[in-house]
Amino acid sequence: MFRSSMCGRLLLNLPLLLVVVATAMMVGGPGAVGAPRDDQLVIAFDKEPDTLNPYATHVLAAKEIDVVEGFHATNEKMEYIPRVVQRVPTVTNAGLTITAGKMTVTWRLKPGLKWSDGQPVTSADAEFTYKAMTDPSFRVDSRAGWPIIESVKTPDPQTVVVAFKDSYAGYRDLFRYLLPKHMLEGKDLNTYSDYNRSPVTTAPFSIQQWLPGQFLVTVANPNYRGAAQGLPHIKKITWRFVPDANTRINMLRTGEAQVAWALPFEQIKPLQSAPGLKVIVHPLNAWMHFDFNLRKPMFQDVRLRQAVAYAIDKEAIVSQVLGGLGKPAGPPITPLSWAHNPNAYSQYKYDLARAKALVAEAGWRPGSDGILQKDGKPFTFDNCLNTGDATQERVQQVIQAMLRSIGMNMEIRNFSAVVYGEIRFKGECDTLFHRWIVPATPVLSIFYSADAMPPNGLNEDFYANAEITEIIKEAESTIDQPKAKALFWRAQEILARDLPTIPIYYMVAAQATTSRLQGLVGNPTNDGDGWNIEEWRLGP
């Protein structure tokens, strides 16, 4: 309350505002009020959440500010770690059994857990979460995986036994958030704002105040399971909503904030040398890729797709255009994943002579203007990208120049987000330059299965291959990791052979903080960089 009335006064009183800001700058304190304290943090956050019910939104804010959690999360190495459960169930620790093709997973909750309002956490909450997620009236962002569950049983308050209709390797991504039954039972989850704006939680932080359009304040949850060990170290965090990246960085520079969330790529290098600041660059489980639309006639001949692969100098793109921030890509599973096949796509080393030979083999000859021709038709195609990311647009133009050097005329046709989504799903572009970010459990089916063409999935290559569709399906339902790995490796080899897509580079993300902040390491998946927020500290 103090803060909001203060804000009202600040708006009315400009001289006072200047004095306060100046004072804040001098002491480098957190925010415009109060003396600097090492257990409080102001974070200039890039967005405002729409709802804090994490199942109901694709905005990751609730996860990022760490006011919700569930059975597991993934850490900075993409390993699954237990949250409210004692351990991650696997075949080895007997938490997972398969009989006659059906999988049963048993989770045991940590003892003595309490919700932030003091109520006990029990297996009934998990059962309630399952019921909510399979209730068609609850408008969720994604129900992926939930329909595979056959039943959820709760033999005692500590134990959750989930029987699946099939085997399903993505089981650890279910129950990522636990919903509190005692608060939500009988309520309409779509509109119940008591929860959606201030969820009762088991996470390190809970909501103290949310002023729409301004900021959100989270405070240490007194019933957090680590409270006895002093976790979280930071006791109060103010998340200021600042969509403009330059403003976020200025707030960090002036000491008004200690973290400038989601540092844009172009700002990484300039800020790395700034005194008193620290830039944390970490790999993302994401990659930019050049996609062929196989419904169009242009690239039906695989030799032309290969020529494109040989003509794009990924090493130069990463070292020069990206300044070394990222990695030249191989297959469409990143090196962060156990399923990554380093051999797949390794045949496509930058080789202009090879590219030209393949093009000639396919019957295309350079015309007088240097553009390839066949039967009097020039080799012209378009490439679409979502506008707004300067780095991606820059790389796209480099690719354009590289393809021009083997005589291919790539026309750039970029669109703002709404139109772009529409156009690529309709398959109107010859090629795309696009980004995928995926969870820790490897996934290929939504991108490359024959049955995943839009609107049923994200197979925007319109790539139809019965063999790989089968292999991917089997790989994704195989629990035994070595077996699954062999299948994924095979799938990546087929993709490299058929080339519906050419991954260009594996991406990184960055956060900028005061050099006093310790513990922020980032997270490659959409668990978000706040995943270990309870361990953050402000040093001297």
Partner 1 sequence: MVLLILVIAAAAAPLLARFAPNDVDLRKLGSAPSRVHWFGTDDLGRDEFSRSLHAGRVSLSIGILSALVAAVVGTTVGALAGYYGGLVESALMRLVDVVLSVPPLPLVIVLSAVARSTPLTLILIIAGIGWMGTARLVRSSFLTIREGEYVEAARAIGCRSLRIILRHALPNSLGPVIVAGTLAVGNAIITESVLSFLGVGVRPPTATWGNMLQNAQSTMTTRPWLAVFPGLFILLSLLSVNAVGDGLRDALDVRLKA
Which residues sit at the interface with partner 1, rule CB under 8 A?
Answer: 264, 266-267, 269-270, 316, 320-321, 387-388, 390, 393-394, 396-398, 400-402, 411-416, 418-420, 422-423
Output the CA–CA distances (angstroms, integers) from residue 504 to 315, 334, 343, 395, 492, in the order listed: 9, 11, 15, 9, 15
Beta-carbon contacts of 139 under 8 Å, excluding residues fewer than 6 positions away, are: 56, 190
Q: Is the dihedral of CA 131, 132, 138, 139 positive or negative?
A: negative
* Conformational region of residue 370, where left means phi above 0, alpha means psi within -120 to 50, and beta covers everything else: left
**Both structure tokens of 86:** 């004692």
47 closest CA partner among 204, 284, 233, 215: 215
Closest separation between CB of residue 390 and partner 1, Å?
Answer: 5
Indicate the SS3 state at residue 424.
Answer: helix
Asked whether the beta carbons of 364 and 373 are under 8 A apart, the reply is yes
Distance CA 506, CA 515 (A): 27
Query: What are residue 123's phi and psi, to 5 degrees?
Result: -65, -20
Distance of closest approach, residue 264 Cβ to partner 1, in angstroms: 7
Q: What is the chain's alpha carbon radius of gyration, rounded to the nearest angstrom?
A: 26
Q: Report the nearest approach of partner 1 to the CB of residue 154 (Å).
A: 51
Residue 6 or 271 having the CB closest to partner 1:
271
C-beta of 23 vs 320, nearer to partner 1: 320
The three-state secondary structure class of 126 is helix
Name which of 165 and 269 has its Cβ closer to partner 1.
269
Nearest approach, Cβ of 502 to partner 1 (angstroms)?
19
Which is nearer to partner 1, 395 or 438 (by Cβ)?
A: 395
By C-beta, is 120 or 421 nearer to partner 1? 421
Q: Which is nearer to partner 1, 226 or 264 (CB)?
A: 264
Q: How many helices (H) and strands (E) does the chain have?
A: 16, 22
Under DSSP, the state recorded for 171 is: G
Choice between 314 and 485, CB closer to partner 1: 314
Q: What minimum distance in Å lies between the beta carbon of 280 and partner 1?
A: 20
Is residue 360 helix, strand or coil? helix
Q: Whole-number minimum distance, CB 319 to partner 1, in Å?
A: 8
The two three-digit tokens of residue 463, written as one number: 């790539």
Q: How far is the CB of 516 from partner 1 (least distance, A)?
A: 24
Neighbours of 141 (CB within 10 A): 12
Cβ(306)–Cβ(501) below 8 Å: no
| Other beta carbons less than 10 A from residue 475's beta carbon | 24
| Residue corresponding to tokens 């679409």 | 384
Nearer CB in complex with partner 1: 415/462: 415
Helices 481-498 and 466-477, packing angle to 10 deg: 160
Q: In the bound complex, what is the minimum distance in angstroms from residue 497's beta carbon to partner 1?
A: 29
User: At closest approach, how far in Å is the CB of 424 from partner 1?
Assistant: 12
In this complex, which beta carbon is closest to partner 1, that of residue 209 or of residue 414?
414
Nearer to partner 1, 131 or 413 (CB): 413
The nearer residue to partner 1, 76 or 393, going by C-beta atoms, is 393
Look-up: residue for tokens 């804000």? 7
CB of 329 to partner 1, least distance (A): 18
| CB 63, min distance to partner 1, A | 28
Specify the length of the chain in residues.
540
What is the 8-class DSSP label of residue 114? B
Q: Which two tokens stand for residue 250?
A: 């200025």
Identify the burial level of 527 via C-beta atoms within 10 angstroms of its C-beta, where 0-12 means exposed, 13-18 middle and 19 or more buried. Answer: buried
**At closest approach, how far in Å is the CB of 433 from partner 1?**
12
In 3D space, the residue among 82, 73, 132 whose CA is nearest the CA of residue 107 turns out to be 82
Using the minimum distance from each CB to partner 1, give the nearer residue, 185 or 422. 422
Q: Which of 103, 162, 173 is nearest to 477 (CA)?
A: 103
Nearer to partner 1, 4 or 416 (CB): 416
